[in-house]
Amino acid sequence: MSSIEGKTVVLGVCGGIAAYKSAELVRQLVKAGASVRVVMTRSAQEFITPLTLQTLSGHPVSTSLFDLTQESEIGHIQLADSADVVAIAPATANLVAKLAMGMADDLLTTVLLATRAPVVVAPAMNVHMYENPAVQDNLGRLRGRGIRIVDPAVGSLACGYEGPGRLPETEVLAAEIERAVSANDLEGERVVVTAGPNREHLDPVRFISNRSTGRMGFAVARAAWARGAEVTLIGGPTSLTPPHGARVIRADSAAEMHRAVRAEFKSATVLLMAAAVADYKPKKAADQKLKKGKGGRVLDLVRTVDILGDLPARRGQRIVVGFAAETEDVVANATRKLTSKKLDLMVANDVSRPDAGFEVDTNAVTLIDSEGAESLELAAKDTIADRILDRVVAIRQRRKRR
């Protein structure tokens, strides 16, 4: 279950051109399992209609403090109390100023004063307005009060200027909202995740690789950040967009990945090796493109280093998680690797199933640790990622109790 599932998000929409993007945000939050209650300012309704957001959220949109019907259905205090998180996207300079002053002259600002829930503010405006010291001072005051400010994206703005001021992508906003609402049970952890395949080059244009897409590792990195961790993602070549919040290190070959893992392991508290590391590489990669001859060609392959096997013996309080891709005797093979690689947790994956493992969004795994084996039903990789991290949290708690 992702951190946002079952949570109530009160989404405030202000009157800026980016208001139209709130429709996509509502859709995404609802898809992730949140209950979304939209509050629109008067000027927001000049840019997008309440009907749009009402249809997408499946709940009435609140627009006025003084509307008798709205107040009797869900009053402003009830709205403030119902929120697990309040997010404002887009937030105008005017809203930021009113919030900084503690004003309550409409429904949205009143809800913001009345709520005890965490607040996320995503300012979006013209670059000169955003850079104005008054706006920056106000944002600083909000940060000082523990309000999470999502930095605007940089790019071309609707007003024709270039610079910071754009409302960030929906995925970024959703990730920030999820992190604000999560139990933060990985706060203080420095999580390193590897993901994707490796490429071992034969020559400058050809390589040996495998079917891994990186989706499982990216899902783990995304979920770990949402749960409060500091995340470094060491990724082989993939076509995926890196999850928001993670520091990304690109590592194409097993040797590059090995170097990156060794360096990052020093300061890590948790390592999850989801990458499908290449086990073999060509004995020698040609400097120039190999020309074909008449007959066949035999590849001379040598072993790459076993990255997990090469970790320092003294691991302190670090938690190390391996992923076993198997096509037969899945649990037995994975359990053997758990011991031989001195792991705290093994995620065993039957990659012979068409709906699990490589190139699909779902997975079915068995989690194996010192407490035993637990088979998880087929589920989205995002869900599986959270279940893996639940186990990591449980291992950490057991260690602390000891």
Binding site for ligand CTP (CB under 6 A): 254, 273, 275, 277, 279, 304, 306-308, 322-325, 337
Nearest approach in angstroms of CB 249 to ligand CTP is 15
Nearest approach in angstroms of CB 195 to ligand CTP is 9
Q: How long is the chain?
A: 402
Nearest approach in angstroms of CB 176 to ligand CTP is 30
Nearest approach in angstroms of CB 286 to ligand CTP is 23
Of 70 and 194, the one with the shorter C-beta distance to ligand CTP is 194
Distances (CA, A) of 347 to 357, 365, 388, 396: 11, 6, 8, 17
* 159 in active site: yes
Best CA proximity match to 193, nearest among 401, 389, 367, 400: 389
Q: Which entry of 77, 159, 205, 302 is annotated as an active-site residue?
A: 159
Nearest approach in angstroms of CB 275 to ligand CTP is 5
Q: How far is it, in rounded angstroms, from Cα 2 to Cα 223?
A: 7
Of 127 and 224, the one with the shorter C-beta distance to ligand CTP is 224
Q: How far is it, in rounded angstroms, from Cα 319 to Cα 268?
A: 9
CA atoms within 13 A on the CB side of 359: 6
Of 185 and 350, the one with the shorter C-beta distance to ligand CTP is 350
Q: How far is it, in rounded angstroms, from Cα 48 to Cα 210?
A: 46
Of 59 and 353, the one with the shorter C-beta distance to ligand CTP is 353
Partners of 247 in beta bridges: 232
Of 91 and 278, the one with the shorter C-beta distance to ligand CTP is 278
Contact 9, 29 (CB under 8 A): yes
Quote the crossing angle between the two packed helices 107-114 and 93-101, to the nearest 10°.
Answer: 40
Best CA proximity match to 173, nearest among 290, 348, 27: 27
Catalytic residue positions?
Answer: 159
